[in-house]
Amino acid sequence: MNSFKIDRETAPVAVNTLKFMRVLACCMVIATNAALSCGRASAQSAEPVEGLSSGQKAYFDDIATQAPETRSGSNSMERPLTLDRAVEIALANNPEIAAIRWSVSAVEARLSGAGAGRWPSVSAEAGYGHFLDPQRLIPTRYNGEPGVFGRDIYRGDLVLRLPLFTGGRITNEIEAAELLLLSEEKRLARSREELVFNLASTFYAILSQREVIRSVKFSVEAMEEHRKQVSDLLAVQKAARVDLLRTEVRLADLRQGLLREQNILAVQRRLLVNLMGLDTDGAGMEIEGTLLTRPGAGLSMEELMPVALKMRADYLAAKAAMEAQSRRVDSARAGYWPNINLVGSYGIKGALRPEDEGRNTKQTEDVGSIGLALTVPLFDGGRIAAKVHEEAALLAAAQERLRKLGQQIRREVETAVLNAQSSAERIGVTRQAIEQAREGLRIERMKYELSSGSLTDVLDAQSALLQSETNYARALADYQIARAKLRLATGEDVL
């Protein structure tokens, strides 16, 4: 069997070639991994779960496993849907809330990236160059030192860079990212509050609409009974035929009104399931709740306004965003300052085909260095000044938006207080009107039976009763919605 032998002359060449191949292989592996990572990132861009913490992955995995049943509405249909249950489903399935959660996750990643600026960076670098004239492999270290020369020079290095002074740029970027994260978290909290309010408003509107439909159905039944009574009176010639015709017209009007109110209820149900993020029309969904009112405490505008500015999540989010923008201004101003970095490298350098090799020399040499690098901006065409001006203008805009939001909050609190007071007064008035309308209808019917009253008076009394019951049901819902709106305006829990 033939054997392959390496003699003393070929051994250094083989060893150096192996070293170069190892360095080149390492560089190729690093480059390949980077390319594959980019490929996976673009191929999996539709799967946003990548890059999350274990807790976030567990949360979204739990949502994904429960979503098919919850979003289809199968679980919510098995038992009556209460407001608390509706809120629970909505917070888990509403797409807007899910989108803001991803925004929070994105800002968390930005904060991690800003914090990474404090750490050193280590990179692998490789290079190859062909020169017209032979080049010495490494500089001489003492007089008369022999060396290797070649036209084809390669090298591979590990390079370390550590920022020592950046004029506060990294610190301000980290603080800006932290404030922006706080802003996004507050924005998420405010979106949840608004979702709960919209859900509660729709829920109370459905309860009110059910009472309205019940009143209309009662009026239809009462009018059918009255029509029978008129028919009986007509049979014994105690009523005119025109009375029967007017009664039938009124009955037809009530029936079309019932269809209109039922359609409104169907629309409200669809809005409710849409807010809950369910893939159903809500037709078979049973709603369970009450419109009973609870006495509220006295409302003072001067007391509520400071509470709102302290607790409103959107105001706190805007304030944090403004402070984050202030840090960006400081970060932009850091561009005027010099940068100092610690730079170090270590690797090998070799000649592929050496043309001149002295005694006691090698085709490859390990090379390394460490030192400080100072960068001083002298002239950049005004880029730094333009960046500072841009960030300062954005800061001024953020301050104005915060001032505008403060004025908006004051207006919302004032409006909510007035609406709550008005709806509370309407409840008492409409409740009393129902009793009076019932008594009026009873009297008009009795007068008509005794032929001492007109059918017009009976129909008017019936309409007055229906209107009073409708006003009362809607006043109850308006009061509940007004109280929820007041809590939303002051930043308190809506429910």
Average pLDDT over residues 230-239: 79
Higher pLDDT, 317 or 45: 317
Residue 120: predicted pLDDT: 92
- Is 176 in contact with 324 (CB distance < 8 Å)? yes
- Residues 341-381 pLDDT 10s: 999 999 998 888 777 655 556 788 888 999 999 999 999 89
Nearest to 353 by CA among 155, 28, 134: 134
Task: Judge whether 251 lies within some domain.
Answer: yes
Q: Does residue 34 surpass a pLDDT of 70? A: no
Q: Does residue 434 surpass a pLDDT of 60? A: yes
Residue 224: predicted pLDDT: 86
Backbone φ, ψ for residue 373 (5° rounding): -115, 125
Task: Judge whether 223 lies within some domain.
Answer: yes
| CA-based radius of gyration for the chain | 40
> Out of 35-39, 290-294, 311-315, 389-393, which region has the weakest mean confidence (pLDDT)?
35-39
- Element at 156 (helix H, strand E): strand 148-165
If you write DSSP's letter for every residue of 433-463 in order, what string do you get? HHHHHHHHHHHHHHHHHTTSS-HHHHHHHHH
Task: Judge whether 252 lies within some domain.
Answer: yes
> Out of 133-142, 228-237, 309-318, 383-392, which region has the weakest mean confidence (pLDDT)?
228-237
- Element at 344 (helix H, strand E): strand 339-351
Tokens 């009394």 belong to 461
Average pLDDT over residues 237-244: 78
Q: Where are the beta strands (DSSP E) in 358-491?
A: 364-375
Which residues 6+ apart lie within 8 Å of 301 measured at CB?
413, 414, 417
Residue 336: predicted pLDDT: 93
- Residues 17-33 pLDDT 10s: 444 444 444 444 444 44
181: confidence class by pLDDT, cuts 50, 70, 90: very high
Task: Judge whether 133 lies within some domain.
Answer: no
Burial of 50 (0-12, 13-18, 19+ CB in 10 A): exposed
- Residue 108's domain comprises 48-119+168-337+381-490
Nearest to 462 by CA among 483, 439, 431, 441: 441
- Is 378 in contact with 308 (CB distance < 8 Å)? no
454: confidence class by pLDDT, cuts 50, 70, 90: confident
pLDDT > 70: what percent of the chain? 80
CATH (domain of 181)? 1.20.1600.10
Report how far residue 250's alpha carbon sits from residue 244's, in angstroms, rounded to the nearest whole number. 10
Residue 334: predicted pLDDT: 93
Report how far residue 274's alpha carbon sits from residue 277's, in angstroms, rounded to the nearest whole number. 5
Report how far residue 343's alpha carbon sits from residue 124's, in angstroms, rounded to the nearest whole number. 14
Backbone φ, ψ for residue 366 (5° rounding): -85, 130
When mean pLDDT is compared over 288-302, 303-317, 442-456, the highest value belongs to: 303-317
Whole-model pTM: value is: 0.72
Residue 304: predicted pLDDT: 85
Q: Where are the alpha helices (DSSP H) in 7-115?
A: 10-43, 54-72, 74-77, 83-93, 95-115
Task: Judge whether 299 lies within some domain.
Answer: yes
Average pLDDT over residues 259-263: 92
Report how far residue 346's alpha carbon sits from residue 365's, in angstroms, rounded to the nearest whole number. 11
Task: Judge whether 41 lies within some domain.
Answer: no
Average pLDDT over residues 413-428: 88
Residue 402: predicted pLDDT: 94
- Residues 274-299 pLDDT 10s: 998 887 766 677 888 887 766 555 56
- Residues 379-412 pLDDT 10s: 989 999 999 999 999 999 999 999 999 999 999 9
Report how far residue 115's alpha carbon sits from residue 313's, in angstroms, rounded to the nearest whole number. 26
Report how far residue 79's alpha carbon sits from residue 471's, in angstroms, rounded to the nearest whole number. 30
- Element at 158 (helix H, strand E): strand 148-165
Q: What is the dihedral of CA 130, 136, 138, 141, to 10 degrees?
A: -170
Report how far residue 222's alpha carbon sits from residue 225's, in angstroms, rounded to the nearest whole number. 5
Q: Does residue 309 surpass a pLDDT of 80? A: yes
Q: Does residue 230 surpass a pLDDT of 90? A: no
pLDDT > 90: what percent of the chain? 36
Q: Is 326 helix (H, G, I), strand (E, B) or coil?
A: helix
Number of domains in the chain: 1
Q: Does residue 8 surpass a pLDDT of 50? A: no
Residue 299: predicted pLDDT: 61
58: confidence class by pLDDT, cuts 50, 70, 90: very low
- Residues 74-122 pLDDT 10s: 444 567 888 889 899 999 888 889 999 999 999 999 999 999 999 999 9
Task: Judge whether 35 lies within some domain.
Answer: no
Report how far residue 159's alpha carbon sits from residue 261's, in angstroms, rounded to the nearest whole number. 75
- Residue 184 token pair: 């996004």
**Strand 148-165 relative to strand 364-375, pairing:** unpaired
Nearest to 448 by CA among 234, 251, 250, 255: 234
Residue 66: predicted pLDDT: 43
Longest dimension (CA), the chain: 142
Task: Judge whether 391 lies within some domain.
Answer: yes
Report how far residue 364's alpha carbon sits from residue 17's, in angstroms, rounded to the nearest whole number. 9
58-67: long-range contacts, CB 8 A cutoff, minimum separation 24: 63/92, 63/98, 66/92, 67/93
**Mean of the per-residue pLDDT values for the chain?**
80
